[in-house]
Amino acid sequence: MFILPKIILRSRNGLDRRRGVRSRSGFTLIELLIVIVVIGILAGVVLAVINPVATQYKANQTVLRTNVEKACLALHSCGATTTRATRCDTADEIGVIWPPSAPAAGGTTDAQWCIDTDGNEAACSAAPASGDGNTVYVWGDIDNPLATGGARCRYYCGYNFTSSQTVSLTMSAVAANQGCTLD
């Protein structure tokens, strides 16, 4: 029973070779083009779902939030050791290493860091702003490439040296916070 199909198969292949009939192997050009088009469509769908700009922005936002949190911990530690705000109003005094260039007022670079004493982020500059002198704030912000109109994601925290109270990490109410999260 099992030998019969093998014999028939062998004889058929032998006849095809003798007649000059070639067996079909490989793909035609049309089939290859169809496969390439399907792969291209799938790649487009995957890129639309992943959205590398949004993924990079979320990663940058997470780094910013984490860095501001760490600077806040340093500020709170400095505040716990002294009652004078002027001893904790620079990056060196709280033990934080900022990026090499100071942020421009109003937010013009990709990522910015700032310490000020009046809680006014728009006045944030290289030197602490004059204010009540009792609270020191740490600001950090980043451009939001997904929003229009120059929206920035901004986080801040602070420490009040009169009451020894902390201002926990918060999103800025002054800035447009489209796409910013605290979680």
pLDDT by residue (tens digit) across 52-88?
A: 888 888 888 888 888 888 888 988 898 888 888 888 8
The Cα angle at residue 15 between residues 13 and 17, in degrees rounded to 5 = 70
Is residue 22 in some structural domain? no
The amino acid at 5:
P
pLDDT in tens, the chain (183 residues): 445 555 555 555 555 555 655 556 788 999 999 999 999 999 988 887 888 888 888 888 888 888 888 888 988 898 888 888 888 877 888 888 766 544 444 443 445 667 766 666 555 544 443 345 678 888 887 777 776 666 677 788 888 888 888 888 877 765 555 567 776
The number of CA neighbours under 13 Å toward the Cβ of 36 is 7
In the chain, the number of structural domains is 1
At 170 the pLDDT is 79
Is residue 38 in some structural domain? no
What string of H, E and C letters represents the secondary structure of 9-49?
HHHHHHHHHHHCCCCCCCCCHHHHHHHHHHHHHHHHHHHHH
The range of the structural domain enclosing residue 121 comes to 55-171
Is residue 1 in some structural domain? no
Q: How far is CA 69 from the centre of its chain?
A: 16
- Between CA 104 and CA 122 the distance in angstroms is 10
Is residue 133 in some structural domain? yes
Is residue 49 in some structural domain? no
Is residue 24 in some structural domain? no
The answer to pTM > 0.75 is: no
Is residue 127 in some structural domain? yes
Query: Taking the alpha carbons of 167, 168, 174, 175 in that order, is the dihedral positive or negative?
Result: positive
Is residue 92 in some structural domain? yes
